[in-house]
Chains A and B, each alone.
Chain A
Amino acid sequence: MRKLSIIIVLIIIGWGIITSLQKIPFGSSRAKLADHYINEGKEETGAANIVTAVVVSYRSLDTLGEVTVLFLATIGLGAVLATIKRKSERESEKASLILSTGCKLLFPLILLFGAYIFIHGHLTPGGGFQGGAVIASAFVLMYLGCHEEKRINETGSILSESLGGLVFLSIGLIGLAIGTGYFLNNFLPKGEFNTLLSGGIIPIIYIAIGFKVGAELSKIIDLLMEES
């Protein structure tokens, strides 16, 4: 009886989704906003990667919201885990020499790749969030493979996290103050198209987001590993 009612509810929900999605013209040229982004985005923002142009230039306020959500999640996790007492050290096998040396060799390379992704966010696919996640995965590798009591430098993590947020917000406020008068206005010169120093404030904001997201995600991993 219970399963039957679940199936009926699922059928009703599926029918509702199908009928409401049938009216949306996917893939046709009726989406005027998308056409505007694709045709005018390069001239208006100076970023070669249109996804970055939308995320950091047209929809930068939403990006600020996303970064804030991630920040709040990290704070919440830290507040929950701080009340749990740290358990005694578990018995665990020591990592072999090959594994720990391999992790130590790979760690700076993965960090470099993450930095490359968020510095070149306006030219190639990727950006602050992806680069930050790659940097956090480097810390995961270090924690899992290299069995030494090395933790993330607390001061460095806090500094890079708060400086990233401060740079993002202050660039937005400077744009509000001296530009044509809206938040996160692209007030810097656009530069030559498809070079590293182009796109005005876009690379600066993406570097700030990369530092912030990398620090937050690796702090989450650090908090969880500390308790286990």
Chain B
Amino acid sequence: MIIIVTLLVIAMLASAISAYIFKDLLSAVIASCMVSLIAAVLFFLLHAPDVAMAEASIGAALVTAVFVIAIRRTKRYEE
């Protein structure tokens, strides 16, 4: 149990840092989506399924869609 949580937290930190590093904004948005998905799994493991459901549907699906729409309107690569 503790090993799974540790691995998930490490993956979450890695995707958060890569969201900061990426110059391609679409990749950065996908990386931040990964942060939300892993956070949802962690909430579920911590016995909070209500919060996990909200995090998965809003953080991973809707926020990602809004960012992708915004990138489509503006530039894809950071200067």
Contacts and interface: CB of A to CB of B under 8 A. Distances in A.
Contacts, number: 48
Given A136-B62, A140-B61, A217-B62, A130 B69 contact: no
Contacts of B45: none
A51 B54 contact: no
A165 B72 CA distance: 34
Given A130-B53, A133-B57, A137-B57, A225 B69 contact: yes
B57 A144 contact: no
A199 interface: no
Interface residues of B, number: 16
Given A133-B57, A137-B57, A227-B73, A125 B50 contact: yes
Majority SS at the chain B contact face: helix
Given A224-B66, A224-B69, A228-B73, A125 B61 contact: no
B66 A126 contact: no
Contacts of B58: 133
A125 B65 contact: no
A133 B50 contact: no
Chain A, interface size: which category?
Answer: 20 to 34
Interface in A210-226: 217, 220-221, 224-225
Interface string A102-137: 000000000000000100000001110110011011
Interface of B: 49-50, 52-54, 57-58, 61-62, 65-66, 68-70, 72-73
17 contacts: A49-B50, A117-B53, A125-B50, A126-B49, A126-B50, A126-B53, A127-B50, A129-B54, A133-B54, A133-B58, A134-B57, A136-B62, A137-B57, A220-B66, A227-B73, A228-B72, A228-B73
